[in-house]
Amino acid sequence: MIEEKRFAVLIDADNVSSKYIKYILDEISNYGVVTYKRIYGDWTKTNATSWKEVLLENSISPIQQYGYTVGKNATDSAMIIDAMDILYSNYVEGFCIVSSDSDFTKLAVRLRESGMTVIGMGEAKTPKPFSVACNIFKYLDILSEDEERDTAGYNLNKVISNADNNVNSISEQRSKEVKNMTDIKIIEESMIKIIIENGDESKGIGIGELGSRLVKRYPDFDVRNYGYTKLSKFLISFDSLDLKTEVNTITVHLKTNDISVKKIEQTILQLIGVKGINMGELNKRLLEGYPDFNVRNYGYAKFSKLINDLSRLGVRTSGQNVSLEKVIPEKNPCKTTLKSK
């Protein structure tokens, strides 16, 4: 039997609401067993009373920390000191730091340097430096929002399937609202690169492996951030990706193209012609000829990257202008020069 990782959950009561405690403990249970449950704050303050009941229900140990000076946060220091004590006790393999405060960025980095798995949790306002310093980061307000929607019987998948764009409007809206969250377009570009870098595009990549690599690149990646409940449903929403199931294995591939690469290249060269063409106009005219053309199906994140890759065919770019390199014929093509020994 594989032993589960042991985690220490340290909560900053000054920066997290008591309404999130259920989501915190439920989420960390997906990664291992919680051996330490501590929450830090000044419990003499009236606004700390909301925590009393949830602490008793979930057996969380409150750590009293007075504010010694106005404007200074002593809670952060107490959490950091305790985290280092727990680290050197060798009783855990990971930490869950719950806060929306960037002051814990250095702590997360230090714990990871010691081989700890660091899971961060906070609201969408959490500064980017802290979220990327963790191995994994979860947005508590998004987790609670999704669960409340499911509890109310809101059929999110139906909304997604009826959206005008395959990359649904909820995903794009959240990416805009949560400015620190990794944009869904960046996620798509990374997935394309991962599949290409995997070596054999025909074999694709396992869905679990793809998800794992995305989390390594973007610690805050979670399909729930974009309005989905499963990774497979999230992946299906992209025009550039295709899922194949064999026995019990699901692999992710770049979608096959009805239009051959050679045909696309020839058409681009014809459209550029002798006079050259603006890149935007080139893309527009290419779509007029091939309405189903999607640059991502050919392994490129942007149309400009496809054009730049055609330099081997003599295509040159200058800003938004695209032209063909002029080939100057040799004066004496039959004449060769031999180097003397």
Do 170 and 205 lie in one domain? The reply is yes
Do 115 and 38 lie in one domain? The reply is yes
The values of phi and psi at residue 141, to 5°, are: -65, -30
**pLDDT tens column, 111-135:** 999 999 999 999 989 999 999 999 9
Higher per-residue confidence, 163 vs 92: 92
Query: Please, which pLDDT band fits residue 167 given cuts at 50, 70 and 90?
Result: very low
Query: 18-32, 48-62, 170-184: which range is least confident on average?
Result: 170-184
Q: How far apart are CA 172 and CA 331, in angstroms?
A: 58
Could you tell me the pTM of the whole model? 0.68
Do 24 and 58 lie in one domain? The reply is yes
Do 284 and 215 lie in one domain? The reply is no
Cβ proximity of 188 and 238 under 8 Å: yes
**pLDDT tens column, 213-222:** 999 999 999 9
The burial of 44, by beta-carbon neighbours within 10 Å (0-12 exposed, 13-18 middle, 19 or more buried), is given as: exposed
Does residue 336 form part of some domain? no
> What is the count of structural domains for the chain?
3
Query: Please, which pLDDT band fits residue 163 given cuts at 50, 70 and 90?
Result: very low
Q: Which domain holds residue 293?
A: 261-324
Higher per-residue confidence, 241 vs 97: 97
Do 286 and 308 lie in one domain? The reply is yes
pLDDT at 306 over 90: no
Q: Show which of 204, 222, 254 is a domain's final residue.
A: 254
Mean pLDDT, residues 153-158: 44
Instruction: Give 177's contacts (C-beta < 8 A, 6+ positions apart).
Output: 124
What pLDDT is recorded for position 148? 61
Cβ proximity of 97 and 107 under 8 Å: yes
What pLDDT is recorded for position 154? 43
Instruction: Encode burial over 90-124: b for 16+ CB neighbours within 10 A, e otherwise.
Output: eebbbbbbbbbbebbbebbebbbeeebbbbbbbbb
Mean pLDDT, residues 83-99: 96
Task: Look up tokens 């920390």; give the residue.
Answer: 65
pLDDT at 187 over 50: yes
Do 164 and 247 lie in one domain? The reply is yes
Residues facing residue 75 across a β-bridge: none
Instruction: Encode burial over 272-305: b for 16+ CB neighbours within 10 A, e otherwise.
Output: beeebbeeeebbeebeeeeeebebbbbbbbebbe
Of 234, 241, 240, the closest CA to residue 160 belongs to: 234
Q: How far apart are CA 181 and CA 220, in angstroms?
A: 7
Do 141 and 168 lie in one domain? The reply is no
